[in-house]
Structure 1
Amino acid sequence: MTDQAERTGRPPSVEVAPRPLGEYRIWPRSFRDRLTAPLPGMRSLVRLAREGAVRPDAEGLRDVPRLPFRSGPVPTVDASTVAVTWAGHASWVVRIGGLTVLTDPVWSRRILGIPARITPVGVPWESLPPVDAVVISHNHYDHLDSPTLKRLPRDTALFVPAGLARWCRRRSFTNVTELDWWESAELRGLRFGFVPSHHWSRRSLLDTCRSLWGGWVLTGTDGQRVYFAGDSGYGHRFKEIGRRHPGIGLALLPIGAYAPRWWLGDVHMEPEEAVRAFRDLGARNMAPMHWGAFLLSAEPVLEPLIRVRAAWEEEGLARERLWDLPVGGSRVLEDVPSRDAAGATPSGWR
């Protein structure tokens, strides 16, 4: 990437070749210049403590028993077919290009600083097929879970944001590839493209924005594309992702952890914004995520699902294109698309 692209987060004018797997790289000490909005200051923290609106109230928790859950086997597919299974939160089992890819795998019942899961993990660890690769969106504890990663063989291919490889190598992983925005790498014909998001990173008081954050576009040899957004607020970058990666067959987009808006609006989308992001991407289908597993914020537990369905209907989008799966649910991409929301036929998608 050019110096200007690294400073601004805007893509270079030409497509870059895939980076070598596992290379050692030197990065800036901080990625604060990539922030879309300033991080909350002391005044915001004081307000949050005073209001105490960090978890749903008793009324908002009433529907926990109704949260959708259906644990089942991961679909068996061939190399030409794409399938996804939602393990919960931002953890997906993606079968694409003959490989099995995990996104932000969190199989732990508890993570630091928040209550235990309110729904079980949708895919028992022992039922997973052999994992070929893992993609990490950023280093927050609900997306980068050390106990889960320790279950993997240490030669598993890890694809991580710039600045995070050192953390992985300290835990004895030997095949770690870290990428900047708009860079990519390939594993056995499957391309892993790292793209921007509107978010931030931190695991301790001393490492704020020391590593990058973003999403991943997985592209098979026949052009099949799955976009995993990780965590993100709404913003201009979704249109650019769609322009740079046309023909996204499925967008895995976060819809939860958005209340109160004055606290979380810059870094987490609410459901209506997720539908807008889907339209910006020009994707064929959308699968909501990042809700119904952990109590991260103050909205009622079923509200994200109710609101995303309402927003979808209001936009006049075909109901079958919203993959509002239960935790543990799976779906196979096997239909032939007609025309996307912008009127263009996605290229390379069966």
Structure 2
Amino acid sequence: MTDRTETPLAPPVVSGDVVTPRPLGEVRTWPRSFADRLTAPLPGVRSMSRLAREHAIRPNAEGLRHIHRLPYAPEPLPPVPAGAASVTWAGHASWIIRTGGLTVLADPVWSRRILGTPARITPVGVRWEDLPPVDAVVISHNHYDHLDAPTLRRLPRHTPLFVPAGLGAWCRRRGFGNVTELDWWEHAELDGVRFDFVPAHHWSRRTLTDTCRSLWGGWVVQDTTGTGDGGRIYFAGDSGYGHWFAEIGRRHPGIDLALLPIGAYEPRWWLGDVHTDPEEAVQAYEDLGAHAMAPMHWATFLLSAEPVLEPLTRLRTAWQRAGHPRDRLWDLPIGGSRLLTARRADVTAPTTPASGATPRAPR
């Protein structure tokens, strides 16, 4: 039988021994809360008071000193040969994934500012007008730095959206008619590209009254047309470190590229359960059994207290100490692209190194 996790919330659709795709645009009924999916308790009043008391929510002046060294090198989107795939980092957790002839946006945030944070400290890596027609969007969860209403308003309302369970109504209220909600370990297919929704160690909220009313997770995107090997791409969204990475790797063996978050991790007592730090991101890459890793979720918004350049320097140090081949760390600048062809990493255009910073030892 196919491996699957049964839940009382949304059992998979099974035909014989094969888990079948969910129908596109299916309207489903969900529970009022997904709090039972949390893998750590959410911070309470005492933790929030401590955060305010310690002023630990943003980098100090010294931590901001190297903003000018953050990696920003926008380039034209490269051509993608038939049977290949490409990824382009637009900044933070926003990616342009082109595979199977489709252009897919992951957690697109093109706004200069999001609720509750200062304006972005680096521009978007790809101008909106330079994007090819968008064939689909995947959303990891509903936090404002991943689900940006002004950006979605730029899209035609017929654009297919793949979203976590419980988020469909939010999208439909904004005029989107082709919204596919998935539970963990479910998938849907669009024109030969498969979208699998997988777990994450995180949570969801947009208002004071909707905590955990929708699910959170990551996506495995794969070309299934059989015309080539464009690769299996895992987009983590937001996640703390935990057992789900190994389980994702077990259920989705042969991940070619893992897009993993490395920033917004300090202070650890506040963010450790929901955001991986650079060393944990390397461990997650190992747990997944992925061929290559591209870091994200840093160098864009000031969401936490670590110095702005520290995520990259710590990641490079951890990568080297783990003994992984340097060419499997795709530390792209914002606006940079890479090509995937048959599990090989090829630079699709001259890309500027992500930073000239001297690596520092992990803390």
Pairwise mapping of residues 168-187 of structure 1 onto structure 2 (< 5 A)? 168-187=171-190
Counterpart CA distance in 1 for 2:339 and 2:184 is 29
Q: Which runs of no fewer than 5 residues in structure 2 stay unpaired?
A: 346-363
Distance verdict in 2 for CA 1:248–1:10, change over 3 Å = farther
SS of corresponding position for 2:255: coil
Residue 228 of structure 1 is matched in structure 2 by 235
Alignment of 1:11-90 (within 5 A): 15-90=18-93
Name 2:291's counterpart in structure 1.
Answer: 284
After superposing the two structures, state which structure 1 stretch, 2-11 or 215-224, moved more: 2-11
User: Taking structure 1 as reference, are residues 138 and 15 closer, same or farther at Cα in structure 2, changes over 3 Å only?
Assistant: farther
Judged with a 3 Å threshold, the aligned counterparts in structure 2 of structure 1 residues 57 and 9 are, in CA distance, closer, same or farther, namely: farther
Is 2:249 aligned against 1:248?
no
Structure 1 equivalent of residue 148 of structure 2: 145
Residues paired across the two proteins, number: 338
Give the drift of 1:150: 0.3
Q: Is this contact kept in 1: 2:83–2:341, CA < 8 A?
A: no
Paired letter, 2:76: P
How far 1:52 moved relative to its partner? Answer: 1.0
State the AA in 1 paired with 2:245. F
Mark the CA change 1:133 to 1:20 in structure 2 (over 3 Å): closer, same or farther.
same
- Alpha-carbon distance, 1:73 to partner: 1.0
Residue 113 of structure 2 aligns with which residue?
110
Q: Which residue of 2 aligns with 1:121?
A: 124
- 8 Å contact kept, 1:8–1:33: no
* Separation in structure 2 between the aligned mates of residue 37 and residue 165 of structure 1, nearest angstrom: 25
Counterpart residue number, 2:318: 311
Would you say 1:160 and 2:160 are equivalent positions?
no
Q: Does the Cα contact within 8 Å between 1:180 and 1:212 map onto a contact in 2?
A: yes
Matched residue, 1:5: 6
| Residue 191 of structure 2, aligned match among 184, 188, 198 | 188
Percent of counterpart pairs with the same letter? Answer: 72
How many Å separate the matches in 1 of 2:186 and 2:160? 17
TM-score by length of 1: 0.93
User: C-alpha offsets along residues 188-222 of structure 1, whole Å, 9 cap, x if unaligned?
Assistant: 01000000000000000000000000000001114
CA–CA separation in structure 2 for the residues paired with 1:3 and 1:303: 39
Q: For residue 340 of structure 2, what is the aligned residue in structure 1?
A: 333
Q: 1:303 corresponds to which letter in structure 2?
A: E
TM-score by length of 2: 0.90
The separation in 1 between residues aligned to 2:187 and 2:53, in whole angstroms, is 44
Structure 2 match to 1:97: 100
Report the 3-state secondary structure (helix = DSSP H, G, I; strand = E; otherwise coil) of the residue aligned with 1:256: coil
Picking from 258, 264, 271, the partner of 1:257 is 264
Q: 1:109 to 1:3 in 2, by over 3 A?
A: same
* Aligned mates of 1:124, 1:137 — CA distance in 2: 22
Which of 261, 264, 273 is equivalent to 1:266? 273
Runs of 5+ consecutive residues of structure 1 not aligned to the other structure? 339-350
Distance 2:8 2:201 in 1: 15
